[in-house]
Amino acid sequence: MELAYYSDYAVRLVNTEEPARGKDSLTSIEAVRDLFGANQEAGRRATDADVTRFRSVRARLRAVFEAADGGDETLAVNLLNSLLLEFPVSPQISGHNFRDDDGRPLWHMHLADHPSNATAGYAAIAAMGLAFHLTEYGVDRLGLCEAAPCRNAYLDTSTNRSRRYCSDRCATRANVAAYRARKRLEADRSDRTGLAADSAQRTSANGER
């Protein structure tokens, strides 16, 4: 499993909440377990107490994205470092489940956590994955969707650092909204130009009398 994969843990957790819309899907043990994806063994450790603990970690991860999105690199790094200190992991070389054509292990880096609970394990992996992404690609690669009121977190992997939205759906919605806004502005300008022309004609007509 590549280390870059682990950064998605942070994005998945942050996006279980949409503050501007008042939506929160992290309300049950099942929702917590779903976040682990294929790592079902780790998810089975979840208990009722993890729902509240996951929400606390989620708020701290969102703060990292908010700082990065706001251009405060130092704050983003400090917030992430505090998570790394609180939820440590042990990088290990692993070859489980992956074999080449000759049946030999495909060695790769794996993050082994030593959690006291499901939240600690998830937080350790999410924070470390996000840290690898940040140091490899830059703080400005952590973003929040510009399609209001979405504000979902995303990781910008574009070649020219041009990503602004969390999904194609949000990008389309934002483009449509911008197009309609331009049309309204053009219509308003046309109306004002027409009114100005009418007023000029009336003034000219009155002056000729």
Mean pLDDT of the chain: 85
Sign of CA dihedral 180, 185, 188, 193: negative
100 vs 141: CA distance, rounded Å: 33
Q: Strand pairing partners for 92?
A: 110
* Tens-place pLDDT, residues 135-146: 999 999 999 999
User: In a 3-state reduction of DSSP, which class is residue 24?
Assistant: strand
* Tens-place pLDDT, residues 185-204: 766 776 666 555 556 566 56
- H or E segment and range at residue 17: strand 17-18
81 vs 92: CA distance, rounded Å: 20
* CB-based contact 16:32 (threshold 8 Å): no
Q: What is the DSSP letter of 161?
A: S
Note the pLDDT of residue 170: 93
Note the pLDDT of residue 67: 97
Confidence of residue 100 (pLDDT cuts 50, 70, 90): confident
pLDDT for 168 beyond 80: yes
Tokens representing 47? 């208990």
* Tens-place pLDDT, residues 16-70: 999 988 999 999 999 999 998 877 778 888 999 999 999 999 999 999 999 999 9
- Report pTM: 0.78
